[in-house]
Structure 1
């Protein structure tokens, strides 16, 4: 088998691994495909069989050792998207009726909500902006 044949075989192997990656969605196959492409370059530059295999192994192992843990961390992280009541916490609202520890009304996210102040001594007058710190049932707790 000549050098030209060697690089063609490595390229065919890389394509086969790429197809297997798409079919199985196993990222490790993509890393092996990149290793095969690196071996293709070595073969094309005239390297013998031993350097080709060593480059294939080194690049593949390095990618698996470095990229795989990073990909696993990202795959296991949940998106930090707040929805529903959690999305309202931290938002600003405008006082529509005086808000104290007994109650009141605010406009929050375009809707009218019942509200009460976080502290017993705190009171907010009409037109003031307040921050929503929690939601208890249908009542916003503000400060």
Structure 2
């Protein structure tokens, strides 16, 4: 009978052990199922993120290409404009040089006229007085 009780106690202990293992395995199974679901959701989210990131990278590449084209066009326009401005400045430089020469010649002519006028001022005064006398004479003849 002791053996039977011992066997019954051993069987009961084994049954408790098996039930504890089954409960633990069910808990582990639930945890693994939850982890699998979480990983599946995470995988889907990561795939969506990768897709959106790839689209963003493509848009960024396109924007950079357009920006580079605009920059090249702008550089060409600036280069052409700079050349045009430089050419016009060179022509204006020649124009200012020519105007300066004309100014110098006008100053020389003016100085020469002033010297001649000063030299001939007495003669001019005599001519003016003669013209004045001539006009007076003409007025007297008209009155008569």
Alignment TM-score, normalising by the size of structure 1: 0.29
* Structure with the higher fraction of residues in strand conformation: 1
Structure with the largest fraction of helix: 2
Report which structure shows greater RCO (CA 8 Å, sep ≥6): 1
